[in-house]
Structures are given as C-alpha cells and as structure tokens.
Amino acid sequence: MRLKGADMVMECLLEQGVDTVFGYPGGAILEIYDSLYKYKDKIQSILTSHEQGASHAADGYAKSTGKVGVCMATSGPGATNLVTGIATAFMDSVPIVAITANVGLSFLGKDSFQEIDITGITMPITKHNFIVKKIEDLAPSIRKAFKIAREGRPGPVLIDITKDVTAGYGEYEREEIDTDSNKVSNFYKEENYNESFEKAVELIEESKKPFVFVGGGIKSSNASDELKKFVELIDAPVTDSLMGKGAFDGKSSRYTGMLGMHGTKASNLGVAECDLLVAIGTRFSDRVIGNSDGFASKAKIIHIDIDDAEINKNVLVDLGIAGDAKYVLENLNLMLKKQDHTEWMKEIENLKDKYPIKYNKNVLTGPYVIEKIKECFDDNTIICTEVGQNQMWAAQYFHYNSPRQFVSSGGLGTMGYGLGAAIGVKYGNPKSRVINIAGDGCFRMNMNELATASRYNVPIIQVILNNKVLGMVRQWQTFFYEGRYSDTVLDDQVDFCKVAEGLGCKAVRVTKMDELEKALLEADSYNGPFVIECMIQEDDKVFPMVAPGKSLRDTFDQDDL
C-alpha cells in the first residue's frame, strides 16, 4: 500500500499498540500533526504546555504501565526541549520513543531555520537514535526504535525524520508485532547460567544473615511475584532503592524501608551487618551505597542485573549474574530449599522497633501530609513526586504495595518532572487515582502543565508542600555550609492558588492539620485537576540522613543531633 510518510508514522504507531502521544507541534512536524488529526479516532494526541512536559508525560505513562511512552516535538528548540525528559528516562531505564521532525534533507547542515543536530545532542542519553532521510527507511526505523526501547534494559530511543520524508510517499506493509510488556526477555542469557545459579544457591545456603536489596529492574521485568517467593524461600528481610519502591510490598513485615542517604536505620544498619547481600535490578547508585569502601563490608554480594555493564561498576561483588530478573529468580526458586533465619529476622525486627522514622506530629509537616494521603486513599492510588524533600517523604511515609504505584525521577533528579508525569500516568491508568507531591521549588519549574490538565480536564490531585525555600538544598546548607542560605529562600509574592485558578484548576490552601483531610476528600470528589497547597515550616528536615562520603553505618537522625 502506498502511503504518505506521516501516515506511515501513524500506522507504525498502531502496529506497536500506541494509543496516546504527548507533544507540541511546529513547522517541521506539521505533516505528522496533520496525520494525527486524521487518526484522532485511533490515537489521542495530548498537547502539553511545553515539550519537556510531553517527555515527562511519556515517561510517567511508561513507568506506570510498562508500555512504551511516546512524545513528539518539532525541530530546533522543540527537539532540544525534550532533552531533559529524554535524559531523565535514560537514567531511570524507562522505555520511551521520542519522535522529532527536522528540516528537509536539502537544508540539513546549512544552519537552516530551526535546524539542530538532535541525534548528535541525544547520543549520550539514548539507547539508540535514528535520523531518517529516506522514506524506505521510515517504517523499519520506527519498528527498530520500539524494539530497542523495550528489550533488555529499557530506555529512550529518538527518531528524527526530515520534513520531506514526512511529506513524501512510499510503500507500506503492515507487520504484526508482539507488544506484550509482560513477556520475559531472553536478552543476555549466558551459557554459564547453570554454574552461576549453582554458585548463588551455595552462597545463599551458607548465609546466616541474608538481606535482599531490590531496584527498578524488578518492575521492568515484572518479577514481583518471583521476588516474593524468593524472599520467602531464603527467609530474608528486604530493602529497596527509590526506583524499587513497590517492587516488594511495603506493608510486609519483611520490609525494612529504603536504603541509602535517606534510608531507614533498620535498612542501613541491617545491610552493614548482613553476611550476604542479594541485589536485584539495581545499579548501586552513590545515593544508595554512601562510601563504597564501607558498603556491606561484612557481606558477600550477589548482583543480578540485565545490564552486565552495571556488575562490578560501583561495587565489587562476589557473584554477578547478567540476566533478566524474572528469568533468574524463576530458576533460583526452582533450585532453592526453604531456609530458616529466625534469629536474624528477630534482629532486624529489633532494629525496626528501635529506630522508627518519626516526625513532629503537633504541626503541619510534609510527613503528616503523606500519612494523611495514605490514610484517606486506597491502594489504587498512584503517587508521583517531584525531587527533593517532597520525594523523600513520599518514599518514606507512603507504603507502596504494587510495582508501578510510585513514579518519580531517580537517577537524574529532575525538578519539574512530577506534574507532566502525573498527566501521563493518568492517561495510562484512567481508573486509578493519581496524586503528584511537589515542593514549591519544583512546582515553579513546570507548573504551566496545570494548563494541560485543565484543558483536558484531567482529574489529578496536585499537592504542594510549600515551605517557601528550596528545602533539600537548605537542609544541606544547614548541615554542611554553616547556615549560609545562598539563593534558597523563595519567600516572594507568588500565590500558587491564584496561579492554579488562573490556569483553570480548583485550588485550596491548607495551613492547619485539621484542614487537610477535608481538602483531600474535596479534591477526590472533584471532577478535574485540583491543587492543594500545604504551608509547612521552612526548616523541616528529611531524616534519617547519611552525610556525603560517609558510610551507611553513620546514619543520623534528629535524636542523634
């Protein structure tokens, strides 16, 4: 069948099971947007307020569904505005496909109006990228892009298409493609797996104090069920990274809380005392391990990850298994005998009892807001966050019991991520309640996406924890810079409620603890975007904390101070 290039893009998206795209039109991509209009009954196009919001929406859609998220932008500044979102997805291994259009082939390399080498710019922050200059390459490039984005360790792929390709005509033949996101990847299967599995079983059976550390790879491989069985078999406690939230049930008695800089003392001290650490689907970020020389110093370490480049990169391990977490755990579960570590589990339970996370319950605080959200809403609620104190409180005080219930920017730490992501999450999960937790500093970054939410009447709840400062940066300035609060005070005349109302949303301000529940329930019953601004104290801190360069053993909280 002979098709216009832009229509071919639509047909290839339909092949891949795409139902929603997020983006912003412009001159070079007009042909594709013209086709989106013709295909509007099959693919919904969400016009965001800024291209960065589109890339975060695609990220949130992908994180919360396991499908590939799609965003679009025109050439030049449209394409470069996607860069932060693409980098965010790259750092968190999120499968998105970014489609940009460039100037016509004859104008490339001539500094033409709105021309930019977007493939060159994004090369370090994509799994792969394409520039399509011939129409016969268009459909194969799109199909390869989706395959690369979802296979193995997921990640972003960019396709840049010259305008003459989108306007030209070529032959198209539909392909049937398996887009089952639950399908176990056979990527990175090694010939010596049996030897590795036997060694893992040997290390586990020798262990008296095992600890399991899980990251976002469990979610990517849909391995939560296998993880639960594995943990029961080896009779171990479980901690997670920020990206691992929800991979293991946060309400389980085995769960000890997050690990790392703002991890619980039970997790940090437990990992410091364990004799075997089984790390699955995690890259051992510096925010997790602290001083690498003192990390899990008493333990042998098994590291399971689909990307063999991560093994022995940040932490030297005793056994590395490069493979899909679901596949590896399925096989280990078949080989393992039930272990009994009653005394070790009692030791961990004592740590949890001795060092609970806590906060001042007499005033309105960030943790109180999170706990009230947890109290008011059911387990079908998906929490998105911005970055900073709001993010850490949401990680610490909300108990996630399903794998895709927590959506945040981990590796890049992108302020302004959450609101766009929440819109994408809602489109991917229309029956779920979606709440974005923000600090006032992050909210300023991309609050224009409230206009997107009101344009489409997207019923999300935006909670702002407003302490009128850049809270996490101020916390560091308090502890490590002798209280020199350089450019972190935001005490100005901005009224977020008026801004929200001006952008078409309902908004209320909460200043007292007893006002919060009413506001949350009102937001829940409102059919549209609702903003709740919570006024908290400027010097609220996130505890526990590990100072930069210190070991996890050096975790401190307000009592230690």
Answer whether residue 560 is part of any domain: no
Q: What does the pLDDT average to over 190-219?
A: 92
**Pick from 171, 201, 236: which residue ends a domain?**
171
246/335 same-domain check = yes
Residues 315, 316, 321, 322: is their CA dihedral positive or negative? positive
164/254 same-domain check = no
Rounded to whole angstroms, the Cα distance separating 179 from 301 reads: 35
30/52 same-domain check = yes
Tally of helices (H runs) and strands (E runs) in the chain? 23, 20
pLDDT digits (tens, 9 = 90+) for 520-550: 999 999 999 999 999 999 999 999 999 999 9
316/414 same-domain check = no
CATH number assigned to the domain comprising residue 478:
3.40.50.970
**pLDDT at 420 exceeding the cut of 70:** yes
Q: What percent of the chain stands above pLDDT 90?
A: 94
Answer whether residue 390 is part of any domain: yes
Q: What does the pLDDT average to over 192-219?
A: 95
- Are the C-beta atoms of residues 437 and 370 closer than 8 Å to each other? yes
114 included as an active-site residue: yes
112/147 same-domain check = yes
Query: Which position among 258, 392, 472, 545 bears the catalytic label?
Result: 472
Under the banding of pLDDT at 50, 70 and 90, the label for residue 482 is very high
pLDDT digits (tens, 9 = 90+) for 498-510: 999 999 999 999 9
Give me the pLDDT at residue 378, please: 86
472 included as an active-site residue: yes
377/516 same-domain check = yes
Query: Which position among 113, 171, 358, 480 bears the catalytic label?
Result: 113
Q: 264-285 in b/e burial notation, b at 16+ Cβ within 10 A? A: bbbbbbbbbbbbbbbbbbbbbb
**pLDDT at 94 exceeding the cut of 60:** yes
Q: What does the pLDDT average to over 429-453?
A: 98
What angle, rounded to 10 degrees, do the helices at 516-525 and 366-376 form? 50
Average pLDDT, the chain: 96
Q: What does the pLDDT average to over 213-229?
A: 97
Whether the pTM exceeds 0.85: the reply is: yes
163 included as an active-site residue: yes
Give me the pLDDT at residue 379, please: 85
pLDDT digits (tens, 9 = 90+) for 120-179: 999 999 999 999 999 999 999 999 999 999 999 999 999 999 999 999 999 999 998 876
Query: Which position among 63, 127, 163, 372 bears the catalytic label?
Result: 163
**pLDDT at 186 exceeding the cut of 60:** no
CATH number assigned to the domain comprising residue 255:
3.40.50.1220
373/335 same-domain check = no
DSSP 143-184: HHHHHHHHSSS---EEEEEEHHHHHSEEE---------TTSP
**pLDDT at 190 exceeding the cut of 70:** no
Instruction: For the beta carbon of residue 513, count every other beta carbon within 10 angstroms.
Output: 16
Under the banding of pLDDT at 50, 70 and 90, the label for residue 182 is very low
Query: Which position among 15, 44, 114, 377 bears the catalytic label?
Result: 114
C-alpha dist (Å) from residue 227 to 208, 283, 391, 395 = 19, 17, 25, 20
Within 8 A by CB and 6+ apart from 497, the residues are 507, 508, 509, 531, 533
Give me the pLDDT at residue 177, please: 82
Answer whether residue 178 is part of any domain: no
3-state secondary structure 506-523: EEEEECCHHHHHHHHHHH
Q: How many domains does the chain have?
A: 3
Q: Can you tell me whether residue 537 is helix, strand or coil?
A: coil
Give me the pLDDT at residue 191, please: 56
Answer whether residue 549 is part of any domain: no
Q: What does the pLDDT average to over 320-345?
A: 97
Dihedral, 416, 422, 427, 428 alpha carbons, nearest 10: 110
451/532 same-domain check = yes
202/267 same-domain check = yes
Phi, psi of 261 (to 5 degrees): -55, -40
Give me the pLDDT at residue 179, please: 67
22 included as an active-site residue: no
**pLDDT at 53 exceeding the cut of 90:** yes
Rounded to whole angstroms, the Cα distance separating 391 from 352 reads: 22
Residue with the two structure tokens 């990169």? 313
Q: What does the pLDDT average to over 388-413?
A: 97
325/375 same-domain check = no
pLDDT digits (tens, 9 = 90+) for 9-48: 999 999 999 999 999 999 999 999 999 999 999 999 999 9
**Pick from 171, 203, 218: which residue ends a domain?**
171
486: containing domain: 366-542
Give me the pLDDT at residue 509, please: 98
244/167 same-domain check = no
Q: Can you tell me whether residue 545 is helix, strand or coil?
A: strand
Under the banding of pLDDT at 50, 70 and 90, the label for residue 278 is very high
Answer whether residue 319 is part of any domain: yes
Of 186-195, 276-285, 295-304, 430-439, which range is least confident? 186-195
Answer whether residue 320 is part of any domain: yes
What angle, rounded to 10 degrees, do the helices at 265-273 and 342-354 form? 140
338/308 same-domain check = yes
Answer whether residue 285 is part of any domain: yes
**pLDDT at 514 exceeding the cut of 80:** yes
Residues 4, 6, 8, 10: is their CA dihedral positive or negative? negative
Examine residue 25 and say whether the peptide bond preceding it is cis (omega within 30 degrees of 0).
Answer: no
**pLDDT at 181 exceeding the cut of 50:** no
Answer whether residue 177 is part of any domain: no
Q: What does the pLDDT average to over 277-288?
A: 97
